[in-house]
Amino acid sequence: MSKPSLLILPGDGIGPEVMAEVRKIINWYGAKRGLKFDVSEDLVGGCAYDKHGTPLHDDTMAKAQEVDAVLLGAVGGPKYDNLDFSLKPERGLLRLRKEMDLYANLRPAQCFDALADFSSLKKDVVAGLDIMIVRELTSGVYFGEPRGIFKEGNERVGINTQRYTESEIARVARSAFELAMRRNRKLCSMEKANVMESGVLWREVVTEVGKEYPDVALSHMYADAGAMQLTRWPKQFDVIVTDNLFGDLLSDLAAMLTGSLGMLPSASLGAPMANGRPKALYEPVHGSAPDIAGQGKANPIACILSFAMALRYSFDNGSEADRLETAVNTVLAKGLRTADLLGEAGVAPVSTAQMGDAVVEALNESL
């Protein structure tokens, strides 16, 4: 039986550093749990532009289409700010999402008990928080046409178009309902049906799809009200489904409820392949953080937890995903902190590599 395949794209900035710690985890699973992966590595983002003159080479794109899952670090940096828009590092990531048709972006916002004091909200508001935002990822205002900067009379005008088809809404809605069925059977759909026709259609289609899932309690909320409620009492939500633009904003808001962007993973899922698994790309929510790149200060936990999501959604191994998530919780409960998590007086930060080693040690303790 062939080993499941994984393409690693470390990318730019702190990407290679945090991915090196994930490599330790992957090696541990092969040595200690018999979970062996066919791992390959390639370039994306600025490093791909430096070598190939494009943020994503066609050969790399072809590899991504063939493997069971892609694990990405981060892309971008000030070195590339003056490139043409089509050549910026982020275009490599967007191409992966678009051509793999990764239409459902899963963004968990989970507050570990040991980090509840790091949130800007009161501890009782965020302690135990565990919500999932499902963001439509391949359509909406980021991809709609017409778009661009045009001349109208004596001034320029910037145009972006919010566009959704019924089928695009329905498929991400089904992903959210399926996820809700595996969690607490509660789903809130967010849009702006009060002022946007695309929002009206969104609400109508989600409601129609909801009839297929009578055991899921479906509610609707305007996205701006949803942002307010997320900061007022986030634990009222379990699964949230929303469009590309609002999902971008709301998932970042939810991320900061947990105390650190460096803690949060994400999964982008598409249609099932021949083996029944969805096409998938996993990546930490954080950026490339070029200001600390190469200094050993980066927090690898978000990337490690992204691999845990791969275990759960691409490799059908929820028990080992639980093991890895528990190991991370164990390390944090022991008081280990990278620089982004420092808050207690007298606590010295651990390095990126030390945090990765600690997670491996916690995995050993779990046996």
Residues marked active site are found at 142, 192, 224, 248, 252
CA distance 3 to 35: 9
- Residue 116: CB atoms within 10 Å: 19
8 A C-beta contact, residue 72 and residue 281: yes
At residue 285's C-alpha, the angle toward residues 223 and 4, to 5°, is 120
**Residue located via tokens 């000030």:** 78
CA distance 64 to 71: 10
CA distance 261 to 47: 23
Q: List Cβ<8 Å contacts ≥24 apart for 194-203.
A: 194/222, 196/162, 198/140, 198/162, 198/163, 198/164, 198/243, 201/164, 201/166, 201/169, 202/164, 202/169, 202/243
CA distance 64 to 42: 10
